[in-house]
């Protein structure tokens, strides 16, 4: 990955929630989506991902259920909750503000 995790830190929850806003999904797939959407430039480490799931579930922003596994390894699916949608919206606003502020702070001309 070309972008260090610390640069994204504080935004991983937003990333995950944004993915679940589209549809229910499971860890492995979400990680692939993130890799694809960033053209391979960013990838969440598995430990980070699962820690985030735990954090988000404890916060009530996502709920999990085991996929009705007919074939393939078992999958734990996650669904975003109403509170999670609310939080996602909020986090996106914060990202917008972070961008504005950072761009201001990095200006070097008069």
Site for DNA in 37-76 (CB under 7 A): 44-48, 50-55, 69, 71-76
For DNA, the closer of residues 55 and 85 by Cβ is 55
Burial of 3 (0-12, 13-18, 19+ CB in 10 A): exposed
97 touches its own copies (CB under 8 A): yes
Q: Per-residue DSSP letters for 62-101?
A: EEEEE---SSSS--EEEEE-HHHHHHHHHHHHHHHHHHHH
Question: 45 touches which of DNA, its own copies, none (CB within 5 to 8 A by kind)?
Answer: DNA
For its own copies, the closer of residues 73 and 106 by Cβ is 106
Give which of 107, 109, 91, 98 is closest to 17, Cα–Cα: 91
The number of C-alpha atoms within 13 Å of 76 and in the hemisphere containing its C-beta is 9
For its own copies, the closer of residues 58 and 74 by Cβ is 58
Q: How far is the CB of 21 from its own copies (least distance, A)?
A: 5
Q: Which residues bind its own copies (CB under 8 A)?
A: 2-11, 14-15, 18-19, 21-22, 34, 37-39, 41-42, 92, 94-95, 97-99, 101-102, 104-108
């Amino acid at each position: 990955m070309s972008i260090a995790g610390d640069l994204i830190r504080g935004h991983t929850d937003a990333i995950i929630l944004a993915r679940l806003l589209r549809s229910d999904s499971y860890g492995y797939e979400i990680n692939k989506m993130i890799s694809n959407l960033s053209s391979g430039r960013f990838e969440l480490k598995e430990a980070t991902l699962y820690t985030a799931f735990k954090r988000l579930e404890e916060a009530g922003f996502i709920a999990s259920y085991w996929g009705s596994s007919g074939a393939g390894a078992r999958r734990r699916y996650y669904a975003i909750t109403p509170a999670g949608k609310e939080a996602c919206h909020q986090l996106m606003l914060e990202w917008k503000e972070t961008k504005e502020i950072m761009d201001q702070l990095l200006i070097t001309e008069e």
